[in-house]
Structure 1
Amino acid sequence: MKALRVLNNNVVLARDEQGQEVILTGRGIGFNCRQGQRIDPELIVRVFVPADGRDPDHLAEVLALIGEEVLRAVVIALSEVGIEGRESTRPTLAIAVADHVAGALDRAARGIVIEYPLRAEAQTLYAAEYAQAQRLLAAINARVDPQLDPSEATALTLHLVNAGFTSGDLSFTYTMTGIIQQMLAVVRERYGLEVPQESMSAARFITHVRYLFVRVQQHRQLKGHESTIGKGIRQHYPEATHTAQQLATIVELRLGQQLSEDEVSYLALHVARMTMETDGTAV
């Protein structure tokens, strides 16, 4: 790889063998480096390949603004716990996590501890990411001083969840979390059931809804051809379909986008699974 622009000692904008612009991070990678010079592969800790049309130059500048030790701790920790490999198409994740960690370290130094209001939701709705966040926090704490409070795992969880969306901030993830809780509450109230969030059907429902929100945000809903499967679901599960239509109304009110018929049908299928599992029957 050849250097295009040196941002600081630890961040370099370069061009790889395929001719695309990439961001390289690593301690001392930019020291005495000049434009057009080949980068020593031994100095590269992480290769960021900006996706979704993001400007590599701008992202490199943002990364360069983050403190050297914080950026290094986060980049290495993300790799160490298996969240990101050596090459990443999500530089915004490293930026968001590093920026959060920098603020958290400042609060820790001043003895300030924040209790995040979404801790319970993060643990139950995003169990896999919460487990990853706990490992990530431990890996970061092994490289920073002062140590971050265990409560920071909640914020890190939301950043990991948010990485699945194209937006750079957490607002969509906060909204999605509230909508999922509201949806589960509707199912509980409508059927008079207590649906355990750790149950398999509830986990499938939550996973489905998360991918639904990705499709909504990226304007890629299942639509265009009302599928035979979708029609079949609505015919076989009319009550669940009615509930799914209520859930679709919640999404429309909160996100301002109407769900397609097929999206409503697949919501109905997951509602039916939840209620039947609670009743002891199978779909």
Structure 2
Amino acid sequence: MKNNLQVKKVLNNNVVIVSDSLNKEIIVIGKGIGFAKKQGDFIFDDQVDKLFVLKDENEQKQYRTLLTYIDEKTAELINDIILHIGNRFENKLNEHIHVALTDHIAFAVKRYQQGMDIKNPFLTETQTLYPKEFTVAEEVIEVVNRKLNIHLPEGEIGFVALHIHSGITNKSVTDIKKHSELINTLINMTQQSLGLSIDTKSINYLRLVRHLRHAIERISMGEKMEDQERLAKVLKEEYPVCYNLAWKLIKVMQNALNKPVPHAEAVYLTMHLQRLSRYDNE
């Protein structure tokens, strides 16, 4: 993309519809990119610090619709935020983050103004699973609160973290939320079955949650694992409570993901549960 982007329509100071060298319509987003531009002008990539390009027709349509009910100040703020997120991660952000995060933050601001507070039941799990995304999400919410002079609830940090993770991994926010909800269910089952109140700051809790996350990803992708029959037999005899609980958790994962779970997962899960049971009960 050099000097062949020709302006077709200026949506606002920061968003312009252009045609590329193949005469295909795309949306270009950049700070001040549309200022003083008119139809027929060309856009050069050295005019702005950073260009975001929406090529997918469906993404373009959704983004244009969003701009019709979001004021330009808020839209510009969110574009600055996405630029900040991109700078904090080496990964190239999926273009869908412009639609998803713009929609989410704009709706969150509207909910706040209407006095509505939506609780986030997966805040702790989200912070544990995606620590860097969570840190950047904290920065995002701090900027939104300061710039718009509001105070979004803490739960919004978790929601924004999921959108960031989706943007850098190309995973859908829906799937990420489902997995977080599943982990929350598994943790609650673990607490009830072992009769303990888990310290969410403990290293064993962090290890268990991260293990569950990787297990869910492995199961979802259908990865094979080498059987651990001898070790399974030992664990079943030595730690029957944790071994049986491991299989209960596996059945829940199997039903939720609609995928078969390798028997070896029970071995690794039992060891995490035993460690948690031993140290969090002391």
TM-score calculated relative to the size of structure 2: 0.72
Q: Retained in 1: the 8 A contact 2:86–2:92? A: no
2:106 maps to 1:102: yes
Say which of 213, 216, 237 aligns to 2:235. Answer: 237
**CA apart distance, 1:25:** 1.7
**CA apart distance, 1:214:** 3.7
Q: Which amino acid aligns with 1:234?
A: A
**CA apart distance, 1:204:** 1.6
Deviations 1:155-184 (A, max 9, x none): 3244345557756454x3443333222212
Q: Retained in 2: the 8 A contact 1:116–1:155? A: no
Q: Retained in 2: the 8 A contact 1:23–1:56? A: no
Q: Retained in 1: the 8 A contact 2:5–2:18? A: yes
Give me the CA root mean square deviation.
Answer: 3.7
Q: Which amino acid aligns with 1:59?
A: E
- 5 Å-filtered alignment, 1:244-283, equals 244-278=246-280
Deviations 1:44-97 (A, max 9, x none): 43445x8xxxx6333234334333433321232244367755872322233211
Structure 2 CA distance for partners of 1:23 and 1:142, relative to 1, 3 Å: farther
Specify the alignment match of 2:57 in structure 1. 57
Specify the alignment match of 1:126 in structure 2. 127
Q: Which amino acid aligns with 2:187?
A: L
The 2-side partners of 1:257 and 1:146 are apart by: 47
Q: Retained in 2: the 8 A contact 1:187–1:243? A: yes
Structure 2 CA distance for partners of 1:63 and 1:107, relative to 1, 3 Å: same
TM-score calculated relative to the size of structure 1: 0.72
Say which of 105, 111, 114 aligns to 1:112. Answer: 114
The 1-side partners of 2:87 and 2:231 are apart by: 36
Q: Retained in 2: the 8 A contact 1:29–1:44? A: no
Q: Which amino acid aligns with 2:106?
A: A
Q: Highest Rg: 1 or 2?
A: 2
Q: Retained in 2: the 8 A contact 1:221–1:260? A: no
SS of equivalent to 2:221? coil
Q: Retained in 1: the 8 A contact 2:123–2:158? A: yes
Equivalent residues, number:
260
For structure 1, the residue ranges without an aligned partner over 5 or more in a row are none
Structure 2 CA distance for partners of 1:123 and 1:193, relative to 1, 3 Å: closer
The 2-side partners of 1:175 and 1:14 are apart by: 38
Deviations 1:218-242 (A, max 9, x none): x41321xx426x4465244223443
Q: Retained in 1: the 8 A contact 2:19–2:26? A: yes
Specify the alignment match of 1:192 in structure 2. 195
Structure having the higher helix fraction is: 2
The 2-side partners of 1:89 and 1:43 are apart by: 18
Identity %: 16
Structure 2 CA distance for partners of 1:6 and 1:139, relative to 1, 3 Å: farther
The 1-side partners of 2:229 and 2:167 are apart by: 33
Structure 2 CA distance for partners of 1:222 and 1:6, relative to 1, 3 Å: farther
Structure 2 CA distance for partners of 1:124 and 1:86, relative to 1, 3 Å: closer
For structure 2, the residue ranges without an aligned partner over 5 or more in a row are none
